[in-house]
């Protein structure tokens, strides 16, 4: 069974760290609204990464430039606060078959290239 962990990204502010109202990641406004940024799955854990985003900034999500800047900012925060997680998000995970089939035998006089 995998462990589920939620990570909330917000700007630093004078608000309590564990409070439900935080500073908007884009404009520093106070908000309790969250934007679902990304879900990262590892073999043992599932990370649900969310960013605090105020209603005015959520309306700007239709603008591609705004979205690119927001995602860049999210990645920057993840790299700084969770360096191991940033390595996982860029890693390609390919599961290995527990009992792979034996390699086929090739005679030394035969060619592996067929024309």
The total number of residues written for the chain in this structure? 115
Nearest to 41 by CA among 10, 5, 11: 5
From first to last of its 115 residues, the chain has per-residue pLDDT tens of: 888 999 898 888 888 888 889 999 999 899 999 999 888 888 888 889 999 999 999 999 888 888 889 988 988 888 888 777 765 554 444 455 566 667 666 666 655 555 5
Spans of all domains in the chain: 3-89
Cα 98–Cα 3–Cα 54 angle in degrees, nearest 5: 130
Q: Is the pTM of the predicted complex or chain greater than 0.75?
A: no
> Which residues, listed in sequence order, are joined to residue 45 by a DSSP beta bridge?
3
Helices (H), ranges, 23-92? 55-59, 64-81, 83-89
- Phi/psi at 69 (5° precision): -65, -40
Nearest to 26 by CA among 61, 62, 57, 50: 57
């Amino acid at each position: 069974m995998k462990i589920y962990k939620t990570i909330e990204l917000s700007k630093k502010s004078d608000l309590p760290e564990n409070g439900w109202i935080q500073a908007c990641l884009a404009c520093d406004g106070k908000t309790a609204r969250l934007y679902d940024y990304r879900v990262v799955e590892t073999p043992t854990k599932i990370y649900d990464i969310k960013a605090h985003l105020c209603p005015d900034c959520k309306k700007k999500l239709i603008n591609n430039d705004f979205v690119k800047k927001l995602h860049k900012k999210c990645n920057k925060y993840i790299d700084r606060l969770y360096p191991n997680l940033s390595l996982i998000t860029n890693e390609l995970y390919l599961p290995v078959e527990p009992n792979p089939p034996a390699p086929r035998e090739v005679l030394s006089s035969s060619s592996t290239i067929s024309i």
